[in-house]
Structure 1
Amino acid sequence: MQNRSHPGKRLFLLLAGLCLAILCVAGLALAVFWAPDKPLDELTARWAPAPSQFITVDGISVHVRDEGVRDDPAPIVLIHGTSASLHTWEAWVAALKAQHRVISMDIPAFGLTGPRPDADYHSPAYARFMLDLLDTMKVGHFIIGGNSLGGEVAWQVAVAAPQRVERLILVDAGGYAFKPVSMPLGFRLARMQQLSWITEHTLPHHMMEASVRNVYGDPEKVTPALVERYTAMTLRAGNRHALGQRFQQTDPGAQAASIKSIRIPTLIIWGGQDRLIPPENARRFNEDIAGSKLVMFDKLGHVPHEEDPAATVAAVKEFLK
């Protein structure tokens, strides 16, 4: 007598086999790409040499560099973007510090500063943090600039404390709603809550390299040393979890109406090849901020200050004259 399996049983066995195969592949991927958090102490020797210092602000130990002319009445304050660090400004700082005091920092959730205790990563919270940091450093008046998220924080500081801000520099800044032409793979994965456990415990080298190359106009400029730096900052304990929280709290364009209130001399620098925040947003800033100046670098991407620091800082020096 022929033994025939019930169709339901065959389907069950097929699905069970498929699930087992998926689990095996996932387990193999975890084993190959496993990358645990690194404690701060392990990173500071390599990434926080002098003049780096740590200043306590709002219960957070903040990685800060304060360089250049000590008696400058209006220091230049530079704020990095998502998943970056103060290192992104090193070439600008080197070019500016002979004539200016320049302050750069790792903002909460990124770099060596790491997560906030209260996990508040809304952009207005970042603006309050910046003012608290500058109060702690006893900086009254200042010039403020930022890239991407840092640019959004910079103009929100200018809106919140216009009497303290002498000039504003926006570099591919956030602020308006936008539709990316292309988003770095690391950002796309970090936005998926269902993958949070995996993204917080693995970090494939090719993913990090692809993410950095994605924000450059010319990906061939991305060096192994650059990828190493971004990787180290990502692995700082707590940063990957905080990045996911930051993306869940992001609301592009929520504060955009206040941009038109800015009456501070403003320089807008943008990469014409920015595929994350398109150049159309540069023109919106230029239209909404009365008297602002827009300088477009047609061949550069989302981080023009890092991709071609010499050309972009020349525009800043001209603006500061």
Structure 2
Amino acid sequence: MHGFLSNDWAGMAMAAGVTVLAGLLFLATRRLWAAAPLLLLAAAMATGSGIHLYRVAEMERLYPAPGTFVEVDGQRLHVLIEGPENKGPTIVLFGGGHAPGTSMKFLHDAINSEFRSVLIDRPGTGWSGPARFPLSTAGEAKQMWEVLDKVGAKGPVMLAGHSFGGLLAANMARLRPERVHALVVMDATPPDVILYGPRLEELSSLSSDPWWNGLFALFAIDYQTLKGGAETPPAYVELERKIAATMGKAYAIQKVYATRPRTQMAAHSIYSELTPQGMAAVGYETGFYEGELGQVPLYLFAPQNAVGLSDVSTLRNAEQREAQRLQNFYAVARERYLDYSNNSTRIVAPADASHNFLYEYPAETTEVLRQIARGTYAPSVAAPQKPRK
């Protein structure tokens, strides 16, 4: 079902199916009024689907793919690779969530004058074609290596991922540690947070809403508007403003392409990992044990404290003692990445930075990535101690 609904023409096919049902009902009853409601529904579905197809054509006309396409596991994946060859490691960037390459375009543009940089649209996102289901972080890690092989990025690779994209980068490093110049996890999603943490309303909606978003998008209907909901906290509005300012034109492109059903269906599939049951099901293939990455140079780049977590509804609604316990839990879980490699370094983001520090401090983030790629990075401060409960 996910695969069918990922196609932009699926809405028109569904409208045709309802039309056939109406025809069969008319033949069975010989009463037009009996088939009329289905005919009206089919007409509305076809109209909405036509609007959606027009919008897709417009977005593809306004924002054509800037890179090339490769075939991996029956999926057509888009990849943008720019920068000089044979001048240090190739840097591969992954954004948070199940984001397309546009989410890291600002870093890509800042470093590709010195290093070869790669952006890959994960299955179903950006300019990539529909995904093959089900999706998983471990499965995509294998696919990302195949993409790199097909575009000729066979030398040392520096993997840098933010949030859920950091977990993907870490999984890639485990598969081919001999190819990894360095692994940079930018406040990456720790599996422990999903397995042992509280059920967050935000994560629950991440795994449930996309399916409905994708279904309604086939008929040019905005499900989030239809659904309604609580007012967005001011802190989130301000963060979104900062992200938009940092990303520039790429922000508008990403927002437009995110409306495609293929993107929403892919998100629904892979975000099932962001539940205790989902992470437990893939824990062995996605999680890590201490020292599993051996001597792979691992850099945990993140805020020192759990800045911004007070904006999470579970914390806002918790009593003071429980809120503090949750803050400590998240902060400790974040540091677990340091245990995955025997050659790890902690990099502290600017003092007032949040989880999305790379958008708040793009210049500082870029400079850290450059230094790691050059092999010249040296911690300016001692790694912070893990907070105690």
- TM-score strictly above 0.5: yes
TM-score, normalising length from structure 1?
0.73
Tell me the residue number matched to 1:310: 363
* Sequence identity percentage: 17
Match of 1:273 among 296, 304, 307: 307
SS at match of 1:151: helix
Cα distance in 2 for residues equivalent to 1:247 and 1:221:
25
Question: How many Å apart are 1:99 and its aligned residue?
Answer: 1.4
Tell me the residue number matched to 1:12: none
Match of 1:44 among 46, 60, 83: 60
Pairing of 1:68-107 with structure 2 (within 5 A): 68-72=83-87, 74-107=89-122
Tell me the residue number matched to 1:9: none
Are the counterparts in 1 of residues 300 and 347 from structure 2 also a CA contact under 8 Å? yes
Cα distance in 2 for residues equivalent to 1:303 and 1:313:
14
Tell me the residue number matched to 1:245: 269
SS at match of 1:183: helix
Are the counterparts in 1 of residues 162 and 187 from structure 2 also a CA contact under 8 Å? yes
Cα distance in 2 for residues equivalent to 1:64 and 1:36:
25
Question: How many Å apart are 1:211 and its aligned residue?
Answer: 9.6
Q: Which is further off, 92-101 or 303-312?
A: 303-312
SS at match of 2:140: helix
Question: How many Å apart are 1:106 and its aligned residue?
Answer: 0.9
Tell me the residue number matched to 2:347: 295
Question: How many Å apart are 1:266 and its aligned residue?
Answer: 1.4
Tell me the residue number matched to 1:129: 143
Cα distance in 2 for residues equivalent to 1:156 and 1:108:
16
Cα distance in 1 for residues equivalent to 2:348 and 2:162:
14
Residue deviations 1:88-118 (CA, integer Å, cap 9, x gap)? 21221222112110011111132221431x3
2:337 corresponds to which letter in structure 1? F
**Alpha-carbon distance change, 181 to 202 in structure 1, aligned in 2, over 3 angstroms:** same
Tell me the residue number matched to 2:13: none
TM-score, normalising length from structure 2?
0.62
Q: Which is further off, 154-163 or 248-257?
A: 248-257
Structure 2 unaligned residues grouped into runs of 5+: 1-50, 313-328, 377-389
Q: Does 1:151 align with 2:155?
A: no
Residue deviations 1:262-311 (CA, integer Å, cap 9, x gap)? 12111111244354794433311124432312223243333322332111
1:306 corresponds to which letter in structure 2? Y
Question: How many Å apart are 1:82 and its aligned residue?
Answer: 1.9
Question: How many Å apart are 1:77 and its aligned residue?
Answer: 1.0
**Alpha-carbon distance change, 72 to 203 in structure 1, aligned in 2, over 3 angstroms:** farther
Q: CA RMSD in A?
A: 3.8
Structure that is richer in helix per residue: 2
Tell me the residue number matched to 1:284: 336
Pairing of 1:122-201 with structure 2 (within 5 A): 122-140=136-154, 141-178=156-193, 179=197, 183=202, 187=206, 189-190=208-209, 197=215, 201=221
Question: How many Å apart are 1:65 and its aligned residue?
Answer: 1.0
Are the counterparts in 2 of residues 217 and 301 from structure 1 also a CA contact under 8 Å? no
Tell me the residue number matched to 1:13: none
Cα distance in 2 for residues equivalent to 1:286 and 1:38:
48
Q: Which is further off, 124-133 or 246-255?
A: 246-255
Length, aligned pairs only: 285
Are the counterparts in 1 of residues 302 and 347 from structure 2 also a CA contact under 8 Å? yes
**Alpha-carbon distance change, 222 to 93 in structure 1, aligned in 2, over 3 angstroms:** closer
Cα distance in 2 for residues equivalent to 1:182 and 1:79:
25
Q: Which is further off, 119-128 or 257-266?
A: 257-266
2:358 corresponds to which letter in structure 1? H
